[in-house]
């Protein structure tokens, strides 16, 4: 029987077990316990591990197999989404309302009884935002925040955490703008953690964890943007609208 490691008993806040030792059922559960300090969270993401738990539970750390990823040059923009982009219904900004974006992502959703974005998680990721490591992409309409996403950037990897929409296509538009900017910055990997129909419709796919860890080990070591608030390039509207999906060679994972 596989057992998980209890991190409260580990002295080094940067230590984690090998993610390949994660449980198969539930898929990816690797460790429990430990505080959500910036040091521990950053160490986890460097190793392909992320926290995910519900209110009243200890912190649970995961590394599922397979892993959902989106390569920046494989973003799939549908005809309807491209039409929305041409209409420019939103003003898209970055890092102007991080806590609000997280709060919207934490709001109850249809078919869900709770949220994993607890107050502890909110505070922890806001600390990372203050450090210039966690970032939000926001869609605004008539000065109202109507959609967006947030995640963590390490090296040339963006670890997507959650997204929300209060208007049709708002979160998708946020992802298009993010991907266009990451492409400009030569980022190589967007980690989506766990697959969903929504993510697959945008070009995300599942890959074996071993391949993901190899890709992560390469791209997280590449020098990315400085730790500071992100700002879009002045011409990012045109870049997002002109985005074209690369022809993908079967089996090519970059």
Of 44, 64, 84, the one marking the end of a domain is: 64
Sheet holding 134-141, edge to edge: 91-94, 134-141, 144-154, 157-165, 189-193, 67-70, 205-207
Mean pLDDT by 10 residues, the chain (254 residues): 81 94 96 95 98 91 98 94 95 98 85 71 97 98 97 98 96 97 97 94 96 98 97 92 62 47
**pLDDT score recorded for residue 92:** 97
Q: Coil, helix or strand for 163?
A: strand
Residue 98 covered by a domain: yes
Total-model pTM: 0.93
58, 74: one domain? no
Residues near 40 by beta carbon (within 8 Å), at least 6 away in sequence: 7, 13, 14, 34
Q: Which structural domain range is residue 30 located in?
A: 5-64
What CATH number did the domain enclosing 108 receive?
3.40.630.70
């Amino acid at each position: 029987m596989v057992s998980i490691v209890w991190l409260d008993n580990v002295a080094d806040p940067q230590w984690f077990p090998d993610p390949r030792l994660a449980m198969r059922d539930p898929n990816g559960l690797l460790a429990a316990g430990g505080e959500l300090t910036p040091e521990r969270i950053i160490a986890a993401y460097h190793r392909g591990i992320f926290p995910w738990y519900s209110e009243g539970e200890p912190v649970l750390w995961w590394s599922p197999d397979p892993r959902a990823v989106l390569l920046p040059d494989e973003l799939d923009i549908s005809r309807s989404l491209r039409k929305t982009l041409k209409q420019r219904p939103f003003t898209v900004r970055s890092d102007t309302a991080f806590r609000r974006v997280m709060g919207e992502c934490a709001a109850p959703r249809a078919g869900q009884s709770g949220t994993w974005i607890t107050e502890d998680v909110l505070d922890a990721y806001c600390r990372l935002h203050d450090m210039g490591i966690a970032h939000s992409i926001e869609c605004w309409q008539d000065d109202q925040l109507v959609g967006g996403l947030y995640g963590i950037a390490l090296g040339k990897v963006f670890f997507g955490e959650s997204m929300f929409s209060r208007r049709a296509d708002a979160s998708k538009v946020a992802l298009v703008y993010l991907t266009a900017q990451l492409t400009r910055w030569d980022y190589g990997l967007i980690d989506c953690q766990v697959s969903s129909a929504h993510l697959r419709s945008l070009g995300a796919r599942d890959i074996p964890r071993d391949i993901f860890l190899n890709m992560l080990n390469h791209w997280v070591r590449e020098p990315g943007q400085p730790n500071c608030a992100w700002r879009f390039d002045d011409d990012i509207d045109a870049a997002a609208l002109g985005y074209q999906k690369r022809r993908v060679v079967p089996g090519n994972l970059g």
